[in-house]
Amino acid sequence: MYPQLLTCDPYSDLYPVFDFLLNHVNIPFPDIRKSIIRCPRLLICSVDHQLRPALRFLENLGFVGKHALTCQTTLLLVSSVENTLTPKLNYLQDLGFSYEEVSRMVLTFSISNNFGPKVEYFLKEMNGDLAELKRFPQYFSFSLEGKIKPRHQLLVENGLSLPLPQMLKVSDGEFNVRLIEMRLRLVDERQS
């Protein structure tokens, strides 16, 4: 993916990245490999021009202490503060989320491929209320095509509804059991 790695100097190009991840981001040594596998682009980023500014931005957002970056989230470091992270924050704040709420949300999702389509579906198709999204921001981590739409459509077809956490946090099997139980209750109510 990054052929420039073949010609880079390990001492001047790679070691500074490893040093930064170990000593500034505080990724444990055994997890450095996971960080690189998850985001090989880390190896070609400038520590001073890319990684350090992104880390400062993320720390200001609250990625510190027990919420510090991990090998799973170091990919945020390769995001441009001006072109990627700040527009995501602005987009979510424009929807009505507070800065504190936005800072707790996952910032790895793109506006055009994740936030936008999911917000549009939630507001238009599900007739959702932004207050519910604020209570359950994990909504954005679920697949629109794989989980949100199919489950919502099943509920609509059966004249049923569920709060977002109950609709999305359960396995497919648990959701189907819940759907059958709700349908049976509905039939019992109609017969009574």
Same domain, 54 and 88: no
- The 10s digit of each residue's pLDDT in 52-89 is 999 998 888 777 777 788 887 888 898 888 888 888 88
Structural domain including 45 reads 3-79
Q: 23 and 70 in contact (C-beta within 8 Å)? A: no
Task: Output the average pLDDT for the chain.
Answer: 85
Q: How far apart are CA 111 and CA 119, in angstroms?
A: 10
Q: How far apart are CA 90 and CA 93, in angstroms?
A: 5
Same domain, 8 and 57: yes
User: Does the pLDDT at position 47 exceed 90?
Assistant: yes
Same domain, 92 and 160: no
Report the domain count for the chain: 3
Same domain, 166 and 101: no
- Mean pLDDT over 149-167 rounds to 91
Domain end, chosen from 99, 118, 141, is at 141
Domain end, chosen from 141, 163, 180, is at 141
Domain end, chosen from 63, 79, 95, is at 79
- The 10s digit of each residue's pLDDT in 88-132 is 888 888 888 888 777 766 565 666 777 788 888 998 999 988 888
